């Protein structure tokens, strides 16, 4: 039995090597590195509600300024989450060798990115709803039924709730991974709607569950290997950044603080320093993403090769490995040898027969001359 998740390892590596280094194009690296930066632009972060019943918020604390700041942050996060969704398709275009500019790629994938964005928001709201319901049910049970059912039963209920929560998180993660890895290529190459592509993937997973389980399990060691490679690269970039940006900042900031301490100029210098620090962080982050770009491209190519093995309708001819001139010549020569019919008999016997006939003819000619 052939395992698609294992068979896709080597072709994905060769494809990544060819697209990144044969030939090496610095502008392509910089462009795709920017797209990879946009992939991590969006996201939601929050805190769990306070279950103690003591709320630190009241009606007077929600001033218009606070509300405006919260709304601005929410809009900012939503916008960048949408940009991150579009960047998923832009990265797929780059890996599939669609050569165009960033703006053209963004415009072409804006509608598909909106579909992915809405799906992610729906998935997030469903997850939050289930989490809130589980927390509320746990609080209700602990407050009303803890004493009647006993401590042991309460602990079992809590463990069952935690098990359900872990399984739910794993299921959400797997569905999200299937959408990113296997549904997005269908939306790009076959113009399938997101839900149609997801139903097709789940249907294929029901037919070959072992292949998809192997794919999910294979992503674990691959993720660990990528972390082992990207972490030292990130630390190296960070140390270089401390030398390049940190030392000049310290040389300028310490004397400036001592000179302008207590004056209005110091406030302006602090603002300039904050802008300088944020710029340095963005530059170092971008450099780290560009240096780890082979990992990003490999994961995208790996999912495409797995999809190619599981879905015969996917037009992924661009994933076929291109042969060199030498390999093509060898293949053509071998094919000609196999298809050329062999001649019957030995050529040497024909030569011997011809030479013997020539000798007899010469001898007969000499006899005729003697008679005359």
Domain count of the fold of the chain = 1
Please say whether the beta carbons of 90 and 107 come within 8 A: no
Please say whether the beta carbons of 138 and 161 come within 8 A: yes
Q: Does any domain span residue 358? A: no
* pLDDT bracket for residue 354 (50, 70, 90): very low
Domain range for 113: 4-45+68-322
Q: Does any domain span residue 41? A: yes
Please say whether the beta carbons of 234 and 295 come within 8 A: no
Tell me, what's the pLDDT at 132? 82
- 186-189, long-range: CB < 8 A, 24+ apart: 186/311, 186/314, 187/89, 187/112, 187/115, 188/89, 188/92, 188/93, 188/96, 188/109, 188/112, 189/96, 189/314, 189/315, 189/316
Region 2-12 average pLDDT: 92
d(CA 15, CA 21): 10
Q: Does any domain span residue 235? A: yes
Q: Check residues 224 and 322 and name the one with the higher pLDDT.
A: 224
d(CA 232, CA 234): 5
Q: Does any domain span residue 213? A: yes
Q: Does any domain span residue 130? A: yes
Q: Does any domain span residue 342? A: no
Quick count: other Cβ atoms within 10 Å of Cβ 363? 8
* pLDDT bracket for residue 306 (50, 70, 90): very high
pLDDT of 46-84, one tens digit each? 333 343 444 444 444 557 777 888 888 888 889 999 999
Query: Which residue is it, tokens 């060691």?
Result: 221
pLDDT of 253-267, one tens digit each? 888 888 888 778 888
> Is pLDDT above 70 for 280?
yes
pTM exceeds 0.75, yes or no:
no
Q: Does any domain span residue 350? A: no
Region 77-95 average pLDDT: 91
Listed ranges 56-65, 226-235, 331-340, 354-363; the one with the highest mean pLDDT: 226-235
Q: Does any domain span residue 348? A: no
């Amino acid at each position: 039995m052939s395992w698609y998740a294992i068979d896709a390892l080597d072709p994905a590596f060769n494809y990544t090597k060819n697209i990144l280094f044969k030939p090496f194009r610095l502008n392509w690296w910089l462009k795709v590195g920017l797209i990879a930066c946009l992939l991590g632009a969006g996201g939601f972060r929050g805190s769990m509600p306070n279950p103690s019943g003591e709320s630190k918020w009241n009606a007077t604390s929600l001033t218009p300024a606070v509300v405006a700041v919260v709304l601005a942050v929410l809009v900012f996060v939503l916008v960048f989450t949408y940009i991150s969704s579009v960047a998923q398709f832009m990265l797929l275009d780059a890996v599939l060798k669609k050569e165009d500019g960033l703006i053209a790629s963004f415009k072409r994938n804006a509608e598909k990115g909106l579909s992915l964005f809405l799906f992610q928001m729906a998935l997030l709201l469903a997850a939050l709803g289930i989490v809130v319901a589980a927390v509320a049910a746990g609080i209700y049970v602990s407050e009303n039924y803890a004493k009647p059912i006993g401590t042991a039963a309460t602990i079992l209920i809590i463990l069952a709730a935690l098990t359900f929560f872990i399984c739910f998180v794993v299921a959400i993660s797997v569905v999200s991974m299937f959408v990113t890895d296997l549904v997005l290529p269908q939306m790009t190459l076959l113009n399938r709607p997101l839900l149609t592509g997801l139903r097709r993937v789940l249907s294929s997973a029901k037919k070959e569950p072992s292949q998809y389980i192997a794919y999910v399990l294979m992503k674990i060691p691959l993720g660990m290997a990528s972390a082992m490679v990207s972490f030292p690269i990130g630390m190296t970039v960070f140390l270089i950044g401390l030398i390049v940006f940190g030392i000049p900042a310290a040389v300028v900031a310490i004397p400036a603080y001592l000179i302008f301490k207590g004056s209005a100029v110091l406030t302006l210098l602090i603002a300039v320093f904050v802008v300088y620090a944020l710029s340095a962080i963005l530059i170092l982050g971008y450099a780290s993403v560009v240096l780890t770009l082979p990992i990003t491209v490999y994961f995208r190519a790996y999912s495409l090769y797995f999809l190619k093995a599981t879905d015969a309708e996917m037009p992924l001819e661009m994933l076929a490995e291109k042969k060199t001139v030498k390999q093509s010549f060898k293949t053509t020569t071998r094919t000609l040898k196999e298809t050329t019919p062999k001649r019957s008999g030995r050529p040497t016997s024909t030569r011997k027969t011809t030479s013997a006939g020539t000798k007899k003819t010469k001898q007969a000619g000499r006899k005729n001359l003697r008679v005359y």
